[in-house]
Structures are given as C-alpha cells and as structure tokens.
Amino acid sequence: MADNMAVTLAAPEIVLTNAVMLASGAFQFAFTNTPGRSFTVFSNTNLSLPMTNWIILGGVTEVAPGQFLFTGPQLMNRPKGFYRVRSP
C-alpha cells in the first residue's frame, strides 16, 4: 500500500535591508528569499493588533531571482508604522 505525503518547506527568514524613506514620503525596503515566491506587505500603527486588523499595502516585486523590493505608499499622516511581510 502506498502512502501519499505532501511536504511544504517554509520560506527562509526575511531580513529587511536598504530600508529608506524616499523624498516622496514612500517607504522602501529590500530582502532576499526563495526565487519565485510571492509576498504581501501589511502595515499598522499597533503591533499588538491581530493580522485581521492590518492594512494590506500590496505585493512585493522580485527584481532579480531571489531579490525582492517593496515601495509602499506615502504614510506621512502616521507618527509611526510597522510592517509585516508574509508569504502565502
């Protein structure tokens, strides 16, 4: 009798690099990860809120294999902001 098993490997830890505030007021950061993987960026002003209360800012662009870049919208009206990157 044959058994079927599916294995899903977790993505490597995401370490943000080159985080900058652009002149336009947008926030930009980069990271490396598994080529071809999709990511979504969320934002909030309160880290303790559940993910259902976080705002989806959008997807992340893979600029080269395994090299990802995100440029967020202007968030100038917020005194502070937190970001989470999630892969489905």
Residue 5 lies inside a defined structural domain of this protein: no
For the chain, what is the domain count? 1
- Which is nearest to 88 in space by CA: 61, 59, 63? 59
Instruction: Please name the amino acid found at residue 48.
Output: S
- Closest-CA residue to 37 (of 17, 57, 8): 8
Q: Is 3 within a domain? A: no
* 75 inside domain: yes
Residue-wise pLDDT for 61-88, tens only, equals 999 999 999 998 766 566 678 889 998 8
**pLDDT mean over 49-60:** 93
Sequence length of the chain is: 88
72 phi/psi in degrees, rounded to 5: -90, 170
37 vs 68: CA distance, rounded Å:
10
52 in any annotated domain = yes
For residue 29, pLDDT over 90 is answered with yes
**CA-derived radius of gyration, the chain:** 16
What pLDDT does 33 receive?
94
| 9 in any annotated domain | no
Range of the domain at 50: 17-86
pTM of the entire predicted model: 0.78
